[in-house]
Amino acid sequence: MERRDFVKASASLAAAAVASPVEAADGNAPGFPPPETIDKGGMKYRTLGRTGASVSLVGLGGFHLAKPGGATEAEAIRIVRSGIDAGLNFCDNCWDYNGGESEVRLGKALRDGYRDRVFLMTKIDGRTAAAALGQLETSLRRLQTGHLDLLQFHEIIRMDDPERIFAPGGALEAVLRARDQGKLRHLGFTGHKSPAIHARMFEVARQHGFTFDTVQMPVNVMDAHFDSFQKTIFPIAARAGTAVLAMKTFGDDFVLKSGVASPIEMLHYSMSQPVSVVITGIDSVRILEQALQAVRSYQPMAQPQQNALLARSAAAARGGGMERYKVSHHFDGTVQNPQWLTEA
């Protein structure tokens, strides 16, 4: 099946499988309400799907902890600990972020009892069992922990990625053994290229009798207009009982630079979708405070408000120009470094 045909088929199947609980007035809004949100002393929390874990509404993106030209190590540690002290408990990271420095810095920040206060997630690129296991062990060492709360297969951006992971000798074999050994608790996957590829990952998992605990994907004010993850994957994830982790609220900074909404509005839009946590890059105390302010001031954005915001973003979203992760290799680390798929 050609990719364009698979995109159309996946969208049609998703729409048929689960009807939107809320009808959008303009046909653009995804129309799914957010999960129950619990306010505990200024931080808001949601349940992470089938895991039962309570996670903060905003999550700390790992890449920005060591982004070139960004925070120093000391500043990164301060950001992490200040966030945790404010109630933020979801920490995102990846084996390949900044040559491993993002994990190293997070590991140092989680010393002195901070590890016990967070839900720790990282990602691996390996598609083979050997590569996946080697990357997992490296991440555990860098993060200075004996186990992960969540491990995710990173950059599911090719149509054959699902088959490679589920194949005999593939990454899933090693990861399931590691889970049995207590090195991780839950499993998920991420990607930013096409909802058709995400749909394929769900389908291949179903064929193997496996259900992912989480799926991470772009959720922002542009997505609904072009090759939409929200329209295609929200209903599939709901049917599977898989929790959605939102990313790319600002699209690095391309969505933000469009000027169609303020940072707080963009965060509130993502928070108003059926997601358990909105993961956002934080490279300064000022940006941390912005994220915390978005949580404190959050109220579910009503459907008319969402429709109005999407109407404002429609022109900028045309053709995917603001979502470069969908239409270019700008964000594709494993395209630029294909050895990460097979080497530990």
Q: What is the mean pLDDT of residues 62-91?
A: 97
- Asked if pLDDT for residue 2 goes beyond 70, the answer is no
Q: State residue 292's pLDDT score.
A: 98
Confidence (pLDDT) at 24: 43
Give me the mean pLDDT over the 13-34 stretch: 49
Mean pLDDT score, 117-144: 98
Give the per-residue pLDDT at 328: 94
Nearest alpha-carbon partner for 106 in 69, 81, 86, 125: 81
- Axis crossing angle, helix 263-271 with helix 285-297, rounded to the nearest 10: 50
pLDDT at 158 over 70: yes
pLDDT confidence bin for 15, thresholds 50/70/90: very low
Question: Model's pTM, two decimal places?
Answer: 0.91
Tell me if 228 sits within 8 A of 191, measured CB to CB.
Answer: no
Residue 89 has pLDDT above 50, yes or no: yes
Q: Residue 6: is its pLDDT beyond 60?
A: no
Report whether pLDDT(5) > 60: no
pLDDT at 257 over 60: yes
Q: What percent of the chain has pLDDT over 90?
A: 87
Q: What is the pLDDT of residues 279-294, one digit of tens each?
A: 999 999 999 999 999 9
pLDDT at 267 exceeding the cut of 70: yes
Average pLDDT estimate for 84-106: 98
pLDDT tens digits for range 198-228: 999 999 999 999 999 999 999 999 999 999 9
pLDDT of residue 29: 47
Q: What's the confidence (pLDDT) of residue 242?
A: 98
User: What mean pLDDT, rounded, does the chain reach?
Assistant: 92
Residue 277 has pLDDT above 90, yes or no: yes
The whole-number pLDDT of residue 30 equals 56
Q: Is the pLDDT at 31 greater than 80, yes or no?
A: no
Res 21 pLDDT > 80: no
**Partners of residue 55 on adjacent β-strands:** 46
Confidence (pLDDT) at 42: 86
Quick one: fold of 24-335?
Answer: TIM Barrel (3.20.20)
Q: Is the pLDDT of residue 102 over 50?
A: yes
Contacts of 274 (CB under 8 A, 6+ apart): 30, 32, 33, 34, 35, 234, 237, 238, 244
Q: Strand 148-153 relative to strand 54-56: parallel, antiparallel, unpaired? A: unpaired
Q: What is the pLDDT of residues 107-117, one digit of tens each?
A: 999 999 999 99
pLDDT bracket for residue 296 (50, 70, 90): very high
pLDDT at residue 32, as a whole number: 80
90, 121 in Cβ contact below 8 A?
yes
Domain ranges of the chain: 24-335
To the nearest whole percent, how much of the chain has pLDDT over 70?
A: 91
Q: Which residues contact 174 (CB under 8 A, 6 or more apart)?
A: 126, 129, 130, 132, 133, 136
Indicate if the pLDDT at residue 148 is higher than 80: yes
